[in-house]
Amino acid sequence: MPPGSDQPPLHAQVLQLVTAGWLAQAVSATAELGVADALAEGPRPLAALAGATDTHAPSLYRLLRAGADIGLFTEHDGRVFELTALGDALRTDSPVSLRNFAIWTGLPAERHAWAGLADAVRTGHTAFPEVLGKPVWDYLHDHPDVLGVFDRAMTEASRQIIAPVVAAYDFGRFSTIVDAGGGRGALLAAVLASAPGTRGILYDRPEVIASAGRPLRDAGVADRAELVAGDFFESVPGGGDAVILSNIIHDWDDEQSRRILANARAALVDEGHVLLVEAVLPDRPRPSPTVSLMDLDMLVVAGGQQRTADEFEALLADSGLKLTRIVPGGHCSVVEAVRV
């Protein structure tokens, strides 16, 4: 470090930035191999871990050593490793598990698409179809194994945002809530559990709805929920006084987003609300790069974008809606709008 400074030299800081992809891939490999699950019962020696994970022991040691250096494990004498609180989040059954999300970010579908970032910036075109040969949604449809990882990853990510959002926003003032693009129903289950007098409609593509509903049953609210199959680009079920779109709009560009929002608007009863659950891009100074990096992931993978409060206001206005307020709820906020 330079004399009198607690920061590494600039070239060392740049080196840390450009090798961050190596770190992420090491975390992804650790998750894929199930190392955290193998350590769930306590410290284990290298040989036992190699047997439990079906790996080459010397190579596994190199991965574990790197994992210990970044805080996932503690290495004890005799090449015995123990899971840390940070590493525990890579266990499959951890309540804060992001194991599948870590696996997803290391798969070629995600990793190779990011290799096209520079071209995406040059052209404005989404990188994924340029690199993988087709749009991400078509690719996932054609690769069920990758789709399974992606679905589990999105479920894990949603699980981390649901509780803060439900705690921050009063959903109980609505009689019927339509969760459009609601996946398996985790958010709607939490919303209905928090609002005993409210009914819900879970709306998603037919192949999603076919296996949806377990979160609703587990939460004891299935009797107040209806499952409906369809496409929010074509329509949204009517009769609700609120339509939730949770992390949907960020997947799409402005033109496609306006189609979705127009259909949500058309489905509302009088004085109904459209509720976007989104990570709102902060104005400068930004406290962390998380949302701006998510925005780049949207450019690379899906062709959408994260938006600022002003950008949400303009997008909603173009869709016949008026932004009324933004309610912070942890990583995501509830962007509330009404019909003009």
Residues labelled as active-site residues: 250
DSSP 8-state symbol, 40: T
**Nearest by Cα to 301 from 65, 135, 77, 57:** 135
Report d(CA 16, CA 29) in Å as an integer: 19
Beta-carbon contacts of 312 under 8 Å, excluding residues fewer than 6 positions away, are 276, 278, 280, 323, 326, 335
Torsion of CA 129, 296, 146, 278, to 10 degrees: -120
The answer to whether 265 and 234 have CB atoms below 8 angstroms apart is: no
Report d(CA 135, CA 137) in Å as an integer: 6
Looking at the DSSP assignment, which residues form a beta bridge with residue 294? none
Residue type, 258: R
**Token pair of 21, please?**
């992809």
Beta-carbon contacts of 145 under 8 Å, excluding residues fewer than 6 positions away, are none
**Nearest by Cα to 210 from 183, 232, 191:** 183
